[in-house]
Amino acid sequence: MFIGAQVSLYPMTSQFVEVITAGLDALTPYKDDLRIETDDMSTLMVGAPEPLLDAIRDLFAASAKRPEHVTMHVTLSRGCPGEPDDPSCRCEVLERAQDETLAERQALAAQAVENAVVTGVGIDVQFSLYVMGSGNHMDEIYGCIDFLKSSGTFLESKNFCTRLRGDAGAVFETLRQAFLRFGPAEGHVTIDLTASANSPSLA
């Protein structure tokens, strides 16, 4: 299994280089657990979902603590058949999920969000979950939407995506659970997500 993300941070300020550089500092504690490579469009992070989503959360929360409007785009992927197997991506949640029913996975996901860390940073997210190579992909999507609606972070359904709102801790835990517990455990699943903080449209 290969698990990772392409992550891009977009600060809506003329000092954007400074904000991006400060945000990337938040990744330092994760450098032993993740492979991190930055180019001109995005930062690749490869590794297990525990450090991976924690790192993405901390990157965004650090930037969102500043006053400027900032957004982030993340493409999360697990099980892409075109990527090599990588032992650093091993994930017990996925291994156990193979023997769990949809209802069991929904309950475990809800529990994880309840136990999420609190960062004190409020954020907005919209995201799409994609389940590839399976005839019943919409069953898993609808099962995930049921979980989202009772997660405490659900804001609204939109065309093509779902809006979440809440503390960055609960929101990124919701995303991790959606990513890991829905769609076949050994299958190819991706999430396309946009996070936003300090938007003047909400002022």
Binding residues for its own copies (CB under 8 A): 2, 4-6, 8, 10-17, 39-42, 44, 46, 69, 71, 73, 75, 77, 80-83, 124, 126, 128, 130-135, 137-138, 141-142, 158-161, 163, 188, 190, 192, 194, 196, 199-202
Of 149 and 158, CB closest to its own copies:
158
- Of residues 108, 87, 114, 127, the one with CA closest to residue 180: 108
Nearer to its own copies, 117 or 145 (CB): 145
Q: Kindly tell me which of 96 and 194 has the beta carbon lying closer to its own copies.
A: 194
State the nearest-atom distance from the C-beta of 158 to its own copies, in Å: 7
Q: CA-CA distance, 130 to 169, in Å (whole number)?
A: 23
Q: How far is the CB of 172 from its own copies (least distance, A)?
A: 17
Annotated binding site for thiamine: 9, 43
We find the least distance from the C-beta atom of residue 111 to its own copies, in angstroms, to be: 27
Report DSSP letters for the chain, one per residue: --EEEEEEEEE-STTHHHHHHHHHHTTGGGTTTSEEEE-SS-EEEES-HHHHHHHHHHHHHHHHTSSS-EEEEEEEEE--TTS---GGG--HHHHHHTT--HHHHHHHHHHHHHT----S-EEEEEEEEEEES-TTHHHHHHHHHHHHHTSS-EEEEETTEEEEEEEHHHHHHHHHHHHHHSS-TTSEEEEEEEEEES-GGG-
Nearer to its own copies, 112 or 185 (CB): 185
Minimum distance between the CB of residue 114 and its own copies, rounded to whole angstroms?
26
- Residue ranges of the annotated binding site are 9, 43
Residue 116 or 193: the one with the smaller Cβ distance to its own copies is 193
What's the closest the beta carbon of residue 75 comes to its own copies, in angstroms?
Answer: 5
